[in-house]
Amino acid sequence: MTALFDINQLLDEMEAGLRRTLEQRGVTDPALIGIRTGGVWLADVLGKRLGIETPFGELDISFYRDDFSRIGLNPKVKPSSLPFDTEGRDILLIDDVIMSGRTIRAAMNEIFDYGRPASIILATLVDLGSRELPVQPDVVGQVLELGAHQRVKLRGPEPLRIELQESGQS
Amino acid sequence: MTANDHSPNHLQLTRGGQLRHFLTLDGLSRELLTDILDTADSFIEVGTRSIKKVPLLRGRTVVNLFFEPSTRTRSTFELAAKRLSADVLNLDISTSATSKGESLSDTLLNLEAMASDMFVVRHSQSGAPHFIAESVTPGVAIINAGDGRHSHPTQAMLDMLTIRQNKGGFEGLKVAIVGDVLHSRVARSQIRALNELGVEEVRVIAPGTLLPRDVESLGCTVEYDMERGMKDLDVVIMLRLQNERMEGALLPSEREFFRLYGLTEDKLALAKPDCIVMHPGPINRGVEIESSVADGPQSVILSQVTNGIAIRMAVMSMAMGGQMSERQQAQAENEGSRA
């Protein structure tokens, strides 16, 4: 396990990218939603950096996962909490890692069950490629290509750091 | 085979310890009971959304198989299944096929032929859901919605959820169950759950004629005098007087019962000031509980109903998930052995 990424540099990248995207789209009053667990930590940090006053929402997508029929229900599911009305709102959806795109699909389905947002901007800290669905983030901290047995994991919340794990199997 | 294979858990848990049926609380660990309560908490939040539905059981068929009449339990099971996006079939068997002479096994075979994925079973015979779980096609989950005098596990779990919501936990709590324990399947499940979750004391308060023999062996203390029994209580659970199940003269009269064991404001004042009042419903006002108490500030009877939907969503999705992951595993093993 190594921590060879400068998390602050990635957060700077995300912050700058988000400011740019918000300006391009003319969004002035966005609300943040983090996907549990890593996305929630990032939403907290980015909310402060961007000066967003609306408290951020937390999404647990366990009830929307598309692999329920294969692995059953996550026993450690926690309630989602969106402390604002999503109806007509511009949403910044934050996650730590994007890969297949399935988590984001589930998250968008869940958000729509709270009300129809005006728009969703997707930002992730790391993009690992290997997409299985046509879902692309608008803002990315860093694009990474990993070896077959490597994984990245965001640890936190204090301090936030990225770990590169070798699965160690043949 | 070890002796363990005959425990109820051999039937209701997968090898990995996930629920696959929900028949009884006997043998379920504190950890699993806590998982059920935590999952239900998440479903309570779903009930507050503009769209109160999640897609977990989309495309699955749930059959409510009620051999005994019920309004609240059946409608909350129905709503729970619908909020999980399942298709729901309500069968009131007491007025249906069996009266035309069809056997239970034949009824079940027909329902399985309709590709049902889950049976929610209420039956007046103790052990009926267990029997069905033993004979049903693999992959079909059975949920006990009350069997005879044996158990009513979802009711007990929704009571636990209500207690945790109001008291923050179970440690140090003194809980009394009052009234017709003899005929109550709810009381048995409650006593079991309260002990497993670690309350300080479970007390039953009832006349000797409405207590089962050896009631202490269930894990509770016994008090015949309600005024003494109310002392120091954090939670008081009133049971419905089940007149329809009574054979012979177990009670002098309803008025006499109310005088001795009915929950009145005066008796409630003997418990802790923040003691909550629970009742599984339907309530007999003026028989086991005074109206002003049932509707009073310490009553949580209506939040029990709301919590019932969330608990049933939790148990249904966990059991269905267990069945599906088990099927997946069996398939993987099959392919493995062929390779």
Q: Within the 34-93 window of chain A, which residues sit less than 8 Å (CB to CB) from chain B?
A: 60, 62-64, 68-73, 75-81, 87
Name the minimum distance, in Å, from the CA of A66 to any CA of chain B.
9
CA B237 to chain centre: 14
Q: pLDDT category, B63, cuts 50, 70, 90?
A: very high
Quote the radius of gyration of chain A (alpha carbons, Å). 16
Tens digit of pLDDT for each residue in A16-54?
999 999 999 999 999 999 999 999 999 999 999 999 999
CB pairs under 8 A between A and B: 66
Task: Find chain B residues with C-beta within 8 A of A62's C-beta.
Answer: 42
* Contact between B53 and A73 using a beta-carbon 8 Å cutoff: no
Output the pLDDT for position B80.
97
Which amino acid type is present at position A37?
T
Query: Is A11 a domain residue?
Result: yes
* Contact between B325 and A70 using a beta-carbon 8 Å cutoff: yes
Q: pLDDT category, B4, cuts 50, 70, 90?
A: very low
Instruction: Return the percentage of chain A with pLDDT > 90, whole number.
Output: 76
Between CA A120 and CA A82 the distance in angstroms is 15
Output the pLDDT for position B3.
39
Between CA B84 and CA B321 the distance in angstroms is 12
Residue to substitute from A61, A64, A71, A73, interface B, most B β-carbons within 10 A = A73
What value of ipTM does the predicted structure carry? 0.82
Average pLDDT over residues B304-313: 96
Averaged confidence pLDDT in chain A: 92
Q: Of A10-14, B234-238, B280-284, which range is least confident? A: B280-284
State the CATH number of the domain containing residue A27.
3.40.50.2020
- Sheet arrangement for strand B221-223: B221-223, B201-205, B174-178, B235-238, B276-278
Within 8 A by CB and 6+ apart from B131, the residues are none
Query: Is A86 a domain residue?
Result: yes
Task: Find chain B residues with C-beta within 8 A of A63's C-beta.
Answer: 42, 46, 54-56, 317
Within 8 A by CB and 6+ apart from B127, the residues are B147, B148, B150
Query: Is A124 a domain residue?
Result: yes
Query: Is A47 a domain residue?
Result: yes
**pLDDT(A148) > 80:** yes
Query: Is A67 a domain residue?
Result: yes
Of A72, A78, A110, the CB nearest to B322: A72
Output the pLDDT for position B310.
97
Name the minimum distance, in Å, from the CA of A76 to any CA of chain B.
7
CATH class of B3-151+306-321: alpha beta
Average pLDDT over residues B72-88: 96
* Contact between B55 and A64 using a beta-carbon 8 Å cutoff: yes
Task: Find chain B residues with C-beta within 8 A of A88's C-beta.
Answer: none
Task: Find chain A residues with C-beta within 8 A of B42's C-beta.
Answer: 60, 62-63, 77-80
User: Per CATH, which fold does B153-303 belong to?
Assistant: Rossmann fold (3.40.50)
Domain that holds residue A35: 7-166
Which runs of consecutive H residues, i.e. helices, occur in B66-184? 72-83, 104-113, 128-135, 153-167
* Contact between B325 and A71 using a beta-carbon 8 Å cutoff: yes
Query: Is A1 a domain residue?
Result: no
Query: Is A2 a domain residue?
Result: no
* Contact between A77 and B328 using a beta-carbon 8 Å cutoff: no
Output the pLDDT for position A64.
94
* CA-based nearest residue in chain A for residue B55: A64
Between CA B166 and CA B184 the distance in angstroms is 24
Q: Of A117-126, B79-88, B235-244, which range is least confident? A: B235-244
Domain borders along chain B are: 3-151+306-321, 153-303
**pLDDT(B339) > 70:** no
Based on the structure, what is the number of domains in chain A?
1
Query: Is A148 a domain residue?
Result: yes
Q: Of B67-71, B189-193, B237-241, which range is least confident? A: B67-71
Q: What is the pTM of this model?
A: 0.90
Q: pLDDT category, A10, cuts 50, 70, 90?
A: very high
Output the pLDDT for position B114.
84
Average pLDDT over residues B287-302: 95
Output the pLDDT for position B72.
87
* Contact between A62 and B322 using a beta-carbon 8 Å cutoff: no
* Contact between A72 and B53 using a beta-carbon 8 Å cutoff: no
User: CA separation (Å) from B257 to A142, A164, B227, B301?
Assistant: 73, 69, 14, 21
**pLDDT(A76) > 90:** no
